[in-house]
Amino acid sequence: MTEITTTITVAVRFFAAARAAAGTETATLTLQPGATLTDAICELSGQSDRMALVLRKCSFLCDGVAIRDSATVLQSRQTLDVLPPFAGG
């Protein structure tokens, strides 16, 4: 019998200012199958105005690979890294 997946689970890791805005280092998102990076950002943005502001400036990695297209479809059990711009050297 085939199991039907009704949701996907994505692990999220926050760094620097994103961590401060989230108030945590990690989170788990439960999304609909076919969800995109845009969907994940919308879900995370709903946490607070501060988080929404930080996310607008962030870059994202999915399983260590940069995501440049926000229409990229996420898969269950992937890890999404949220990386704000870093200063310094």
Domain enclosing residue 49, as ranges: 21-29+45-76
Report yes or no on 7 lying in a domain. Answer: no
Query: Structure tokens of 43?
Result: 């879900």
What is the reported pLDDT for 86?
79
pLDDT tens for residues 16-59? 999 999 999 999 999 999 999 999 999 999 999 999 999 999 99
> Total structural domains in the chain?
1
pLDDT tens for residues 49-71? 999 999 999 999 999 999 999 99
* Region class of 50: left (phi > 0), else alpha (psi between -120 and 50), else beta: alpha
- The model's pTM is 0.89
What is the reported pLDDT for 87?
61
Report yes or no on 40 lying in a domain. Answer: no
Report yes or no on 4 lying in a domain. Answer: no
- List strand residue ranges (DSSP E) for 26-78, in order: 26-31, 59-62, 65-67
Report yes or no on 8 lying in a domain. Answer: no
Report yes or no on 84 lying in a domain. Answer: no
What confidence category does residue 84 fall into, taking pLDDT thresholds of 50, 70 and 90?
A: very high
